[in-house]
Structure 1
Amino acid sequence: MDLFDDMPLQLPDAELRFEPRFLDATEASDWLARLLLETPWEQPCVQLHGRYHPVPRQVAWYGDPGARYRYSGLTHDPLPWTPLLAEIRARVVEAVGQPLNGVLLNHYRDGQDAMGWHSDDEPELGRNPLVASLNLGGTRRFDLRRKGSGRIEHSLELGHGALLVMSGPTQHYWQHQVARTRTPCAPRLNLTFRWIRR
Structure 2
Amino acid sequence: MLFGSAINLEMKDAEVIYYPNFFNKNDADNYFKNLLNAINWKQDTITVFGKTHLQPRLTAFYAENKNTYKYSNIEMIPHPFEGDLLKIKKRIEKETKINFTSCLANLYRDGKDSNGWHADDEKELGENPIIASVSFGEARVFHFKHRFDKTQKAKLTLQHGSLLVMKEGTQKNWLHQIPKTKKDIGKRINLTFRIIP
Give me the CA root mean square deviation.
Answer: 1.8
> Counterpart of 1:10?
10
Query: Which residues of 2 match residues 169-188 of structure 1 at below 5 A?
Result: 169-188=169-188
Contact 1:120 1:171 in 2 (8 A): yes
Deviation, 1:65, is 2.4
- Answering whether residue 187 of structure 2 is matched by residue 193 of structure 1, we say no
Q: 1:40 is matched by which residue type in structure 2? A: N
The 3 A distance-change label for structure 1 pair 50 and 10 is: closer
> Counterpart of 1:101?
101
**Residue deviations 1:76-121 (CA, integer Å, cap 9, x gap):** 1101112221111111111111111100110000000000000011
> Counterpart of 2:33?
33
Query: Which residues of 2 match residues 3-82 of structure 1 at below 5 A?
Result: 9-82=9-82
The 1-side partners of 2:193 and 2:126 are apart by 14
Q: 1:56 is matched by which residue type in structure 2? A: P
- Answering whether residue 98 of structure 2 is matched by residue 89 of structure 1, we say no
The 2-side partners of 1:188 and 1:150 are apart by 29
Bigger Cα displacement from structure 2, 170-179 vs 7-16: 7-16
The 2-side partners of 1:46 and 1:150 are apart by 28
Deviation, 1:49, is 4.9
The 2-side partners of 1:9 and 1:86 are apart by 28
> Counterpart of 2:131?
131
The 2-side partners of 1:152 and 1:109 are apart by 30
**Residue deviations 1:30-71 (CA, integer Å, cap 9, x gap):** 000000011111000012455420000000001122221111
Identical positions, percent: 36
**Pairs aligned (count):** 195
User: Structure 1: 5+ residue runs without aligned partners?
Assistant: none
Deviation, 1:6, is 6.6
> Counterpart of 1:147?
147
Deviation, 1:151, is 6.8
Contact 2:6 2:17 in 1 (8 A): no
State the SS of the aligned residue for 2:79. coil
The 3 A distance-change label for structure 1 pair 83 and 117 is: same
TM-score (norm 2): 0.93
Deviation, 1:143, is 0.1
The 1-side partners of 2:51 and 2:166 are apart by 32
Q: 2:16 is matched by which residue type in structure 1? A: L
Q: 1:61 is matched by which residue type in structure 2? A: F
> Counterpart of 2:113?
113
**Residue deviations 1:145-182 (CA, integer Å, cap 9, x gap):** 01156777110100100000001111111000000001
Contact 2:8 2:17 in 1 (8 A): no
The 3 A distance-change label for structure 1 pair 173 and 86 is: same
TM-score (norm 1): 0.92
